[in-house]
Structure 1
């Protein structure tokens, strides 16, 4: 079985206190319970806003340069994710579809090496 990243993407200005209501929280809880019951969920985590990130870049001299903010400047960032173990991409996509509905957000499904 292969492990897959199921990543939830949020816009840069995402505010969970505004965007996430009780129904959404309940839908995510139900999805987490379903994943656990199916034995596919390895790990799940929500991330703080991209503005809280620190980016590290190695320089040729070995020094590491640290800056405030996300590594990439984009309009969307990963807001949370699951690591799942699925039989194949089709099964991972089934879970990704459920995640997109529960989280009301775009989802990316990607296999690990």
Structure 2
């Protein structure tokens, strides 16, 4: 079994502007995903908006600079994640296709294998 990170991207503004009905439908879709994935889910969380992120960088001087906000200024930001354990990428892709962000025009999902250092 391998581990995969599902990264959920979208437009913060559109997520914040969702109606109560849209939020409930969104939550129901995530509940369906978690029910289907079951014990394959090793972890996952929704993240606070990108505006409250803190980014660290260093330049040639190797001095660390801390700034408020996301690492990059982009329309789509990381909004949450799931960590799954599955037999292969096909199994993860089938599960990830259940996420509502796959079907919304302002969001999407990225699947990344986790490196096994063991």
Q: Which residue pairs with 2:63 in the alignment? A: 63
Q: 1:80 to 1:53 in 2, by over 3 A?
A: same
- How far is 1:34 from its partner? 2.2
Match of 1:21 in 2: 23
Secondary structure in structure 2 of the residue aligned to 1:71 = coil
Tell me, in whole angstroms, the C-alpha distance in 2 between the residues paired with 1:102 and 1:24: 12
> TM-score, normalising length from structure 1?
0.84
Aligned to 1:112: 114
Q: Which TM-score applies when normalising by structure 2?
A: 0.81
Number of residue pairs matched by the alignment: 111
Cα deviation for residue 31 of structure 1 reads 1.6
Q: Distance in 2 between matches of 1:28 and 1:103?
A: 13
- Rounded to whole Å, the distance in 1 between the matches of 2:30 and 2:9 is 15
Q: RMSD value over aligned CA atoms?
A: 2.1
Q: Mark the runs of 5 or more structure 1 residues left unpaired by the alignment.
A: none
The answer as to 2:44 corresponding to 1:44 is: yes
Q: Secondary structure of the residue that 1:43 maps to in structure 2?
A: strand
2:32 matched residue in structure 1? 30
